[in-house]
Each structure stands twice: as C-alpha cells, then as structure tokens.
C-alpha cells in the first residue's frame, strides 16, 4: 500500500485502499476559501456571474451552484469509453496501461509521502 | 417417411424444398464447429484475481474433450476479453471459479460467450452464462442463472478517502465503470481557532452541478473536532451532540444511485484555511456498470 500526495491539490491518499481496491484520486473542485485568496480577476474569469462587489458569501453561493476544477486538475480515473482489451489465455495485462481522465496513464505525477 | 406439413406462411423456395426429417437434435445446446470459440469477458475491481475456466466438449465418437485455462482480469473495471478456440463438438459443461484473490460478490463479473473467430473482429453469437463469482460462488452451465452486472446486492464497501489540504473540502468521484449507491458518509472536521460558524454540507453532483445537497443541522464553531455523518433513510436533521459526543448526524435519501463520474463531496460554508477534514469514509454498494 502506498501513500501519496497530489502535487495539484496537496491532498493525501492511499492506493490501493485498505480493502485492496485501487484508489483513483481526483482533485476536489475549487472552494470558496481558495477563491477568496485568488486575485479578483482570476475569480471573475471562473465565475463571471459574481456581483460587482462580492463577499465570501457570494463565493460560497456560486461554488455550490457550479463547481469549477482547478488548473492542472488531476483525475486518475480511467477515461470513460475506453474500449476493452484482448488478452491471450493465461496472460496478464498491465492494470495501469489505459488513458486517464486527466493524468498520465502511468501516474508519474504521484508524490510518495 | 412423409414430410411434415408445410408452414402456413410463404416460405422461400430453398426452405420449402428442405426435407424436414433431416433436422438433428444434438446432445447439448451449443455446437462448436471448430471456427467457433469461447469468449470470456470479465470485469473486476478486486486485486490479484485469477479466474479458472474449465469444461468439456463432446467430440466425434462420443469422445469427451476437457479444456482448462485461466484469465487474469485487470482491476480497473474495464472489460478484459479472452477468446479461446476449443475442440469441435458440443459444449457439455463449463465452470468458472476464482482460483486466486478473494473478490466479494459485486467485484468480479464474468460473461461466458460463444463467438466465431478468435481475433478482434470475431462475431459474438450468444451468451452462455453470466454472473458474479467468488472463490466459493462459481458460475456454471448448464443449470446456472444468467445475471446482468447491475443485478444483485452489490459489493458493500467502505471507501477510504484521502485527506484534502487544510482549508479545502474533500471530494470522491465514482470510478469509471462503477455504479454506487451511497448509503452513508462520515468525516472528521477539526476547526481552527479562528472564530466562524462553519456549515458543513454533503453534496452529490454530476461532476459539476449538484443533484443532492444535505446540510449539517448545526454550525460548527472554532476549536472543535466534530464527526459529521450522513446516513440513508433518515428523514432530515437527525442529531447534534457537539458538546458531549462530538458528533453531528444528518439524513440522506434512500436509493441514491450515482453513476461513474458523479461525485460525493463536502462543501463547508465559512471554512477557514486552518480547518482540516480527515478520517473520511463512504459506505457504498458498488456494481460493475458493464459498459
């Protein structure tokens, strides 16, 4: 079992999980506390619907209505629609050899803890 | 011997001329001509699983021709297909069992099919058997039932979610080719000394827009460590025992099914940069989507 830290969102996670299943990390969307620390122009690019003078409460409201992913958002899940693979009997395929939603298939971005 | 009566509908000339008495009932349902092959399509989310497929063909001169091979499905729930040419004859029986690994029901699904050809452009002709397998729950033909991947009770599991960075909410995406039923969620919120009324919420969204939102019944103040829990079937704000138990419970709808790509996440109102979510668990039932 390995413990990793995501270089984008700085979250930590285990893969595989304690029950043996693979864990596919995906960064959470940007939250209001992060928006509050960003330059106003950048916030307006993400949420143009914000009022001219917005408050923390406005940021929380728009985040609840529409979640926005951060730059370099990582999503290790297998890309939807990937076709199945053929294998010869008694052979084994590489588990990590399929395209991801937004991460390298070999998960080279992972930083061990 | 007299021919059988002609059908009442117009038949093609070839069909009309065909001598009906030549119809042959084989000793089993599936006849493999030598161009036909067995196709094993497997989906799996458990580690270290090996499937053993064993059976027998009834060949010429009533010769019984046993076969056996293994399949190692990938653990990413993406279909792994094996096509194996078996001897020509009738398929007498076949059994699929887990011979390595310990998947629970809901983790490893197998289709046994007959196909023509063994290459990528082979034509699948039919499904012989299908269902979830474990080390002691086999899939077999004849006599077994045919199941679809979304049938059954599902795999009841606790999903361990990593800790987000301080001051950030957590999020978990339903994995590709899985379907979840969210039964419960629980997470520990440790608040900093900064005075504010944090308002935790649990949100299920489709990857962008919420489809369900459950707010905690009470606000969490500074300097606390509170376990927030959400459970299916509860009708609304359930309990808040902040001072003595450090716990807050809230309701979730029953039968909250979430397909791949949907997310379960927190959205904490007035979260401070020093607040920390940890010990995050989801209790879900999972099925293989089978796409």
pLDDT digits 0-9 by tens, B123-163: 999 999 999 999 899 999 999 889 999 999 999 999 999 99
Cis peptide before A65 (omega within 30 of 0): no
In this complex, is the C-beta atom of B124 within 8 Å of any C-beta atom belonging to chain A? no
pLDDT digits (tens), chain A, 113 positions: 699 999 999 999 999 998 889 999 999 999 999 999 999 999 999 999 999 999 999 999 999 999 999 999 999 999 999 888 888 888 888 888 899 999 998 899 999 98
Question: Which of B119, B162, B167, B265 best probes binding to A when mutated, by most A CB atoms within 10 angstroms?
Answer: B162
Count of domains for chain A: 2
Q: Per-residue pLDDT tens for B73-115?
A: 999 999 999 999 998 999 999 999 999 999 999 999 999 999 9
Residues A83 and A106 in one domain: yes
In this complex, is the C-beta atom of A111 within 8 Å of any C-beta atom belonging to chain B? no
In the prediction, which pLDDT does B16 show? 56
State the alpha helices, DSSP H only, in chain B.
13-17
In this complex, is the C-beta atom of B165 within 8 Å of any C-beta atom belonging to chain A? yes
Report the distance separating Cα B113 and Cα B107, nearest Å: 20
- Does any domain span residue B198? yes
Residues B84 and B135 in one domain: yes
Domain finish residue from B141, B172, B194: B141
Question: Which ipTM was obtained for this model?
Answer: 0.94
Instruction: State which residues form the domain around B222.
Output: 155-288
Residues A97 and A109 in one domain: yes
Q: Which of B164, B173, B272 sits opposite A9 (nearest CB)?
A: B164
In the prediction, which pLDDT does B243 show? 67
- Describe chain A by its helix, strand, coil percentages, rounded to 5: 20, 20, 60
Count of domains for chain B: 2
Report the distance separating Cα B270 and Cα B203, nearest Å: 16
Cα torsion through B212, B217, B222, B228, rounded to 10: -60
- Does any domain span residue B3? no
In the prediction, which pLDDT does A31 show? 93
Report the distance separating Cα B54 and Cα B146, nearest Å: 18
Residues B267 and B173 in one domain: yes
In the prediction, which pLDDT does A62 show? 94
Report long-range pairs for B244-248 (Cβ below 8 Å, ≥24 apart): B248/B200, B248/B216, B248/B217, B248/B218, B248/B220
Instruction: State which residues form the domain around A97.
Output: 1-28+73-113
Counting as low any pLDDT under 50, the low residues of chain B are 1-2
Contacts of A61 in chain B (CB under 8 A): none
In this complex, is the C-beta atom of A52 within 8 Å of any C-beta atom belonging to chain B? no
Look at B163 and A85 and tell me if their CB atoms are within 8 Å.
no
Residue B270: closest CA among B212, B203, B161, B194: B194
Domain finish residue from B107, B141, B175: B141
């Amino acid at each position: 079992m390995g413990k990793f830290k995501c270089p984008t969102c700085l979250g930590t996670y285990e893969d595989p999980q304690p029950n043996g299943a693979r864990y596919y990390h995906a960064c959470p969307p940007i939250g209001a506390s992060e928006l509050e620390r960003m330059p106003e122009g950048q916030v307006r690019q993400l949420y143009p619907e914000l009022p001219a003078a917005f408050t923390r409460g406005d940021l929380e409201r728009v985040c609840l209505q529409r979640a926005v992913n951060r730059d370099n958002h990582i999503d290790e899940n297998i890309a939807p629609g990937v076709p199945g693979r053929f294998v010869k009997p008694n052979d084994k395929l590489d588990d990590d050899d399929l395209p991801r939603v937004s991460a390298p298939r070999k998960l080279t971005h992972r930083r061990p803890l | 011997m007299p021919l059988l009566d002609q059908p009442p509908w117009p038949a093609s000339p070839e069909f009309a001329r065909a001598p009906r008495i030549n119809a042959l009932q084989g000793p089993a349902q599936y006849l493999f001509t030598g161009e036909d092959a067995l196709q094993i399509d497997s989906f799996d989310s458990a580690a270290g699983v090996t499937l053993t497929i064993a059976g027998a063909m009834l060949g010429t001169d009533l010769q019984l021709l046993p076969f056996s091979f293994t399949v190692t499905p990938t653990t990413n729930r993406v279909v792994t297909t094996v096509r194996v040419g078996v001897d020509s004859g009738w398929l007498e029986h076949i059994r699929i069992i887990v011979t390595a690994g310990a998947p629970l029901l809901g983790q490893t699904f197998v289709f046994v099919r007959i196909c023509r050809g063994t290459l990528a452009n082979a034509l699948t002709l039919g499904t012989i058997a299908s269902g979830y397998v474990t080390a002691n729950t086999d899939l077999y033909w004849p006599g077994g039932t045919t199941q679809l991947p979304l049938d059954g009770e599902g795999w009841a599991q606790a999903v361990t979610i990593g800790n987000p960075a301080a001051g950030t909410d957590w999020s978990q995406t339903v994995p590709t080719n899985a379907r979840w039923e969210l039964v419960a969620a629980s997470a520990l919120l440790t608040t900093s000394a900064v005075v504010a009324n944090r308002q935790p919420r649990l949100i299920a969204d489709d990857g962008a827009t919420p489809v369900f939102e459950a707010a905690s019944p009470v606000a969490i103040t500074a300097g606390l460590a509170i376990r927030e829990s959400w459970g299916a079937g509860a009708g609304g704000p359930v309990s808040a025992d902040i001072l003595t138990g450090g716990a807050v419970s809230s309701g979730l709808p029953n039968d909250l099914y979430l397909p791949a790509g949907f997310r379960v996440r927190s959205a904490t109102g007035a979260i401070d940069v020093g607040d920390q979510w940890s010990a995050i668990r989801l209790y879900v039932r999972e099925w293989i989507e089978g796409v």
